[in-house]
Amino acid sequence: MQHTSGLPEPAGEGVKDDEIGSFYLTKNTKYADPKFVIRERMKGALLFTPGSKFKYNNGDYLVVQRVLEKAYKEPFAEILALKIANPLGLKNTGMLSNDNRQLKVSKLPRAMLKGYELAEEKIVPEPNIAIENFGAAGAMYSNASDLAKFGLALSSGKLLSAESTQIMLTGDSKLGYLALGAWVFPLQLDNAKAASNLSSPARAQNALARRRNRHLQIITDGRYRTAPCHPANDKSIAQSDWRGVDESRPDV
What is the pLDDT confidence band of residue 151, given thresholds at 50, 70 and 90?
Answer: confident
pLDDT(226) > 50:
no
In angstroms, the Cα distances linking 204 to 41, 143, 220, 226 are 26, 10, 6, 12
CA distance 227 to 154: 22
User: pTM of the full predicted structure?
Assistant: 0.75
Task: Name the residue among 30, 244, 18 with its Cα closest to residue 10.
Answer: 30
> Over the stretch 174-189, which tens digit does the pLDDT of each residue have?
887 888 888 887 766 5
Q: Tell me the mean pLDDT in the region 2-9.
A: 92
pLDDT of residue 187: 64
Asked if the model's pLDDT at residue 4 lies above 80, the reply is yes
Percentage of the chain beyond pLDDT 70 is 64
> Three-state DSSP class for 249?
coil
Give the span between the Cα atoms of 168 and 179, in whole angstroms: 6
Report which of 148, 133, 246, 164 is spatially closest to residue 204, judged by C-alpha positions: 148
Mean pLDDT, rounded, for 9-19 = 69
Q: How far is it, in rounded angstroms, from Cα 20 to Cα 43?
A: 20
pLDDT band, very low/low/confident/very high, at 38 (cuts 50, 70, 90)? very high
The DSSP annotation for 7-75 comes to PPPTT-TT--TT---GGGG---TTTT-HHHIIIIIS-SS-SS-TTSS----HHHHHHHHHHHHHHHTS-
Question: Which amino acid appears at position 172 of this protein?
Answer: D
For the chain, the average pLDDT equals: 74
Nearest of 234, 228, 224 to residue 123 by alpha carbon: 224
How far, in Å, CA of 79 to CA of 57, rounded? 22
